[in-house]
Amino acid sequence: MSAPTSVITTAQSSHLPQPEDASAKSTVEISTESGTGDASVLRNILRQPWFTSLSLFLADLVLVSGAYLLSRTIRVNQALEMSPAYLVQVGVFFICILTAVGLIGGYKARRTFQALHFAAEFILAVIIGASVGAFILFVFFSAGDFYTAQSRVVLFYTAVGYALPALGLRLLAASVWTRRARRVPYLAIGTNSELSDFARYCERMDFHNPIVLAGLNLQVVGELMDDQARALRVSPRTILQEASRPEPLAPAHEAARRAQDFEGIVLTDPPSAYPAALLEKLARLHFLRIPVYSEDTFFSEIWRKESVHRLDHYWALRQNFQLARHSAYRYLKTGMDYFLALAVLPVALPLMALVAIAVLIDSGFPILFRQERIGRGERKFTLLKFRTMRVRDNEDDPYTRDNDTRVTRVGRLLRLVRLDELPQIFNVLLGDMSIVGPRAEWSRIVADYETKIPSYHLRHLVKPGITGWAQVNYRYGSGLDDAIEKLRYDLYYIKNYSLVLDVEILLKTVLKVCSFGGK
């Protein structure tokens, strides 16, 4: 979605907060008209995230069932088997597809939506889910009536017949979600300096929602809003005053209704900066179904990265990184790494042989590039890659730049489709790396970053990976600012260390490779 169409403030010509004085203070008026009764309750239900998820899931059940029945009618000239065993087998196939769709967020109302990007993710998820479902059926149910030549074709038709209308439904729903999201602003409350930093970062991220900026006294000091959002006429002071009333029933409902004027509230400062009375009001609103975020939580839930604005060693102690260090999933992940590496090795070896010949013909020996990298627990290891750059005695620049003259002709192609990283499969088998994890950085760069970026060492709580959350969400990076931005994603990955996130990263990696998103 495009950024807000215009930027205005209630105080000055800049969108950033200005010093608060009598001439600068102003408050946007609020419209108090709203529906009541059954219609209001229905609208409130329709806005709930769980209603969206439930509606999409039920629609998917209808679509995948209809696709199967239609495919079987067209392909198989016999009556539908209704025995319990047969229905269980069909249900397993359906569950595999719908689970794969759920893993990529297919049952969430997306406030930001890139149609082509989501379409690729969705199709890949259906392919993977259908493949897993077919594998389970033909391995574990091969003795049953379901194992027929016609059944394989029926399953293929079912996956295709489900994917097209289900994707169309989500694209249609997305047009409604994004239009609604564009009209509803977030409210950011804090001191002028923190609000300024937050507003600048929102612009840098091309944030899709309008934003109202308010000081600690709830006076509006700035806006990032378009014309549609400005027409809502929201007032932070009115909403919070209503939420703070002690009467338990009617005022609470009124505050909840008024709170719908905001998508959420962001606290840009540490908790100690806010008056206790204000925090109490915000707590009331938070439990009235308008989310109140700290800046850290906002970054994590909305942008799926960590805020490193106030990174220090105490910040690290407040997080749950010990879950990554002692997580049971780490042991499961190690087993999966070996399994996947061995599974792809028969296919990768012939491909690596062809790449090696191409590198040799293009620029001679050496074929492999070896470099000391930092792994889990800051242990050093030698990373293997196909050489994509000309051999030089002195490496003055540790980064690969755009249109870098050191990159060979074959190397440029290998980087584009990431085939230069195939030898890292052996690093995985040696136990130095994982399939998914933070990028393994050069020891020379790590030593520099650890002196300049607090808590940079936290990314070494897990094994580095061939692909990772930062790699699929951010560009290659060539400096300190890029390193900080990538660290945001790496810390998010470590905090949310899980199988679901790893599967999502693998899906995004396939998409990035297919779209030639390498450096």
Mean pLDDT of 419-442: 95
Which domain range does residue 284 map to? 183-307
Q: Is residue 29 part of a domain?
A: no
Do both 217 and 154 map to the same domain? no
Query: What confidence score (pLDDT) does residue 416 get?
Result: 86
- Residue 434 sits at φ, ψ, to 5 deg, of -120, 165
> What's the pLDDT at 34?
41
Note the pLDDT of residue 432: 95
516: left (phi over 0), alpha (psi -120 to 50) or beta: left
Helix (H, G, I), strand (E, B) or coil at 316: helix
Boundary of a domain, candidates 307, 340, 375? 307
* pLDDT tens readout for residues 435-454: 999 999 999 899 889 988 88
Mean pLDDT of 41-55: 70
pLDDT score for 502: 87
What tokens were used for 84? Answer: 């319990």
- The residue among 316 and 149 whose pLDDT is bigger is 316
Q: For residues 155 and 269, state if they share a domain.
A: no
Mean pLDDT computed over every residue of the chain: 78
pLDDT above 70 as % of the chain = 71
* pLDDT of 351: 95
pLDDT of residue 376: 93
pTM for the full model?
0.72
Do the Cβ atoms of 433 and 426 come closer than 8 Å?
A: no
Residue ranges of the alpha helices (H) in 301-369? 313-317, 322-326, 328-363
What is the distance, to the nearest Å, from the Cα of residue 407 to the centroid of all Cα atoms in its chain? 31
Q: Does any domain span residue 315?
A: no
In a domain, 10, yes or no: no
* pLDDT for the residue 319: 64
Shared-domain flag, residues 170 and 194: no
Q: Out of 247-256, 332-341, 372-381, 494-503, pick the least confident.
A: 247-256
**Which is more confident, 206 or 166?**
166
How many distinct structural domains can be found in the chain?
A: 3
Q: What is the pLDDT of residues 292-336, one digit of tens each?
A: 999 888 988 888 888 876 666 666 666 665 555 566 788 889 999
Q: Is the pLDDT of residue 387 over 90?
A: yes
- Lookup: tokens for 376: 């889990």
pLDDT value at residue 58: 93
Residue 105 shares a structural domain with residue 124: yes
Quick one: what percent of the chain has pLDDT higher than 90? 27
**pLDDT value of residue 393:** 57
Indicate if 348 and 417 belong to the same structural domain: yes
In a domain, 140, yes or no: yes
Which residues, listed in sequence order, are joined to residue 381 by a DSSP beta bridge?
Answer: 373
